[in-house]
Chains A and B, each alone.
Chain A
Amino acid sequence: MTRARAWPGPTVLGCALAVAVAALLGEASAGRTLLVAAFFLLGPGLALVGLLEIEDPWTLLTLAFGLSVALDTAVALVLVYITEWEPSAGVAVLVAMSVTGAVAQIVRASREASRL
């Protein structure tokens, strides 16, 4: 496991859980706004693109940004056009996707580490 591929999983997991906890408990703050912005712009994409084992950080961030915005837009449009507007459900879907991808990355990393 290279250094470039080691950080996305834990980072996304921490960020996604923090967004979820803040949504349940937290008051609005500048820190929460920054966290949510970072999560929406990179989180879901990084969770899934991290599974592609990309070493190059430019490539990783490029694909993570593109996929994150695509997923955010898709989830938001589904809420607007197809279902009732339930923002908490939309955030839960994005957090669930991110946590799943991040956990998969972490599990794979630990398996590879145990093989070495």
Chain B
Amino acid sequence: MTGSSRAVGLVFGPALRMIARRLAPGEQITLLTAGRQRRGVLEGRATERTTWSRPGLRAFALTDRRLIGVGRNGVLELPLSAVRHARARRGALGSGRLELGLPQGTLVLDGLPAADAELLAEALEQGPPQGPLPAPRFQSSTVAGLIPGLLADVAMLLLGAAALALWFAVLHGVREDDIGDLGLVEALPIGALVALLGLGAGFALALVRDRLGIAVLYVVILVVALYGALVPIEEVTSFSVTWRHAGVADQIVRSGGVDPGIDAYFNWPGFFAALGLATEAAGARSALAFAAWAPVAANLLYLPPLAMIARSVGGDARLVPLTLWVFVLANWVGQDYLSPQAVDFGLFLVVLAVVLTWFGGPAGGRAARPRVARRLRETIAREPGAPARVPRGGRPAVLLVALAAALATVPSHQLTPFALLLVLAALVALGRTWLRGLPLLLTVAFLAWLVFMTVSYLSGNLEELWSQFGQLEQTLASNVGERVGGSHDHTLVVWARLVATAVLLLAALAGAVHRLRAGRRAWSIVVLLLAPFALPVVQPYGGEILLRVYLFALPGIAVLVASLWLAGAGTRPWRSGVVVLGLTLVLLGSFLVTRYGNARVWLFSHEEAAVVDRVYDVATPGSVLIAPSSTLPWQHRRYAELKHSNLSRLVVPPGGFGERALARAVLQLVEEKGGGDGYVITTRSTRAYDELFGTAAWGSVARLERALDASPSFLPIVSRRDGRVWVAAPDRGRQ
């Protein structure tokens, strides 16, 4: 036995044994090929098993009766009498493509080694051998190419690891003060850009070489690099809302229950209760312990359901890593911090992944509908669903998991169940799933939670919530118009977000049109893309609803943009690589500006955190803490015991406040909140907020500091470079 045949035995042993087991008595092999299928694209329908699309080691045996193929998806068997013609062509990315004419149509096996495809086509064209059989031939295109292929794989892995190490090494040198109004991008050293270029090149290379496992690994590296970018820079946990969320969890842990009267968070406490439980299990002093890497963890957990959603449309296996890549580069909205919406978005993806994988496809039953709607529905519903293997326990088992995930969104977040309901209802209405009961159950659970668990919140806020229903003009103004402003650089960031979002949406629509015109599955993804756009009708959601619409539409955007990307990449490896790398660099540049454009106000120094903490140490219960804006590291302790307010509540007189009037107005706010002492806090981040977003109607932070210094009603108790605190002393002012 030669070394070569030993290697063949080792590598292809299982596949060859499977072929041997299938041979009938007397059946003889005339040609045996074994190779690594770079990419499996099976077009046409030859057998029931049409999901022969996983790349990997594969062996074909041509016998005097049949063609037998063994691969990672199972076994393909075709009687020679069924093969009308066979042709070898140039396949995708320089591989071989075997086209078999069958009674049902043409079966295309793409991604084969070119030599294998030619040999098989030649042998099949000759038909069943006549007379004495020739000696069996063996062709292996893999053994010779195995070592260079392995070396290339190792090189790609090393490139990814080196790029990640370089990225974090150079970020360690970035200081918070280096970040200006354009955000993180202006503080990035050249080494960081080299690292990102390396990641883009590595991913493009992995995709071109059809090393899809390595491509997915690059996606993971990209998530760690991009979403962990602030970790080496931040001195303490960044983003003020994260501090508030830690405070809500802390309140639940300390009080041992929820008081729905505190605020909305305590009417949807599911996430915070679980976070409190995890904090206790970790023995941590605060839920902030989980905050730094939360965006990385969230985005890593989004990848599996997103991969399932991408796979549900079938076709080119490269669509999965490319969809994940697009998603990671396009998720700039920053809702993945330690928050209920971050976890609930993951559950949203899980439910849709299950529905599209096991319950997609034409729905039964036809209700009477207007003619046009009926035709549209029938067109959309006709498209077949994804063929997927049903796990042990059958569909009911996975349906239970999806149901649990859907119900878990209800007690944690106000908006996610709405979004999930919209998408599920649209999928049902358009015949893209036959799970009619799921949206119904979710509706019942959602209404039951509203009615029984949020009464105190709704009774106090129903009028305001109802007044926002259907106010599209107000929604557009608060979500877009009012956000375009602030410093020159910040205005650029806002425009970059608007342009990036519009371009991605247009690309997704083009991807949908391209898929549908090419006869590929797309309707379910189109529903995922468009259904969230009904959300703004409900409410402006604090001026953030368009951000959330984009987030909920992002799975659809990612699949369709990736699909268009693949179509544009063509079949030539170099062209494919250049297209992937070029678009990666464009999206990376856009991401760094759009995602981290506000980093200057997100980041807090040790000193400002210490200044704020000092107030929490000394404030008596019932005291009110007032800041110019909410962008400071506060609310993480004594959440319900102390009151928190910002100056946006001040009613500004025509002509604005003078310094004395401003101090009086702040004092009045303290007295209105009443019950204890009043503290006014200004920090480096609230000053940065002023500069970034523009001065508020009541005045600037600098003016506030001057007004408080000059007022006899406020005593400065802490004065540091990054933070100042005054305590209100109304009696002293009146003397």
User: Residues of A at under 8 Å CB distance from B?
Assistant: 19, 22-23, 26-28, 32-33, 36-37, 39-41, 45, 49, 51-63, 65-67, 69-77, 79-81, 84-85, 87-88, 90-91
Contact = CB atoms under 8 A, between A and B. Distances in A.
B273 A28 contact: no
A52 B393 contact: yes
A73 B270 contact: yes
Give the one of A33, A88, A90 with max B CB within 10 A.
A33
B60 to A, nearest CB: 23
B257 A63 contact: no
Contact of A36 (B255, B282, B405): B282
The majority secondary structure among interface residues of chain A is: helix
A80 B346 contact: no
B650 interface: no
A60 B354 CA distance: 11
A28 B289 CA distance: 10
A76 B273 CA distance: 5
Interface residues on B, range: 35 or more
Interface string B700-732: 000000000000000000000000000000000
B301 A49 contact: no
Nearest to B351: A66
Contacts of A65: 301, 304-305, 346, 350
A61 B401 CA distance: 12
B347 A87 contact: no
A19 B281 contact: yes
3 closest residue pairs by CB, A with B = A85-B256, A66-B350, A66-B405
Contact of B398 (A63, A84, A90): A63
B297 interface: yes
Contact of B258 (A27, A52, A81): A81
DSSP majority for the B interface? helix
Interface string B395-411: 00110011011011001
Interface string B136-157: 0000000000000000000000
Given A33-B290, A67-B401, 18 more contacts: A22-B283, A33-B282, A40-B278, A52-B393, A52-B398, A56-B389, A62-B350, A62-B353, A66-B405, A66-B408, A69-B343, A69-B347, A69-B408, A72-B274, A77-B273, A79-B273, A87-B280, A91-B277
B307 interface: yes
Contacts of A81: 257-258
A87 to B, nearest CB: 4
Contact of A91 (B269, B270, B280, B411): B280
Contact of A77 (B269, B284, B285): B269
B357 interface: yes
B271 interface: yes
B516 to A, nearest CB: 25
B159 interface: no
Given A58-B311, A61-B304, A72 B350 contact: no
Contacts of A67: 401, 404-405
A72 B277 contact: yes
Given A73-B271, A80-B269, A28 B392 contact: no
Given A69-B346, A69-B408, A75 B277 contact: yes
Contacts of A85: 252-253, 255-257
A5 to B, nearest CB: 10
Contacts of A73: 270-271, 273-274, 408, 411-412
A58 B274 contact: no
B227 to A, nearest CB: 15
Given A66-B351, A80-B258, A74 B408 contact: yes
B304 A62 contact: yes
A76 B412 CA distance: 11
Nearest to B269: A80
B61 to A, nearest CB: 24
Given A52-B397, A87-B281, A62 B408 contact: no
Interface in B338-356: 343, 346-347, 349-351, 353-354
A39 B297 CA distance: 12
B556 interface: no
B477 to A, nearest CB: 35
17 contacts: A26-B283, A32-B283, A33-B290, A49-B401, A60-B304, A63-B350, A65-B350, A66-B351, A66-B404, A75-B274, A79-B273, A80-B257, A81-B257, A85-B252, A85-B257, A87-B253, A87-B276
Contacts of B270: 73, 76-77
A41 B305 CA distance: 14
Interface in B426-478: none
A69 B282 contact: no
Which of A52, A62, A75, A85 has the most CB atoms of chain B within a 10 A radius of its CB?
A62
B391 interface: yes
B308 interface: yes
A36 B304 contact: no
Contact of B252 (A36, A40, A41, A80): A80
A21 B282 CA distance: 11
A24 B389 CA distance: 42
B277 A63 contact: no
Given A73-B271, A77-B273, A62 B308 contact: yes
Contacts of B283: 22-23, 26-28, 32
B291 to A, nearest CB: 10
A79 B398 CA distance: 27
A84 B281 CA distance: 16
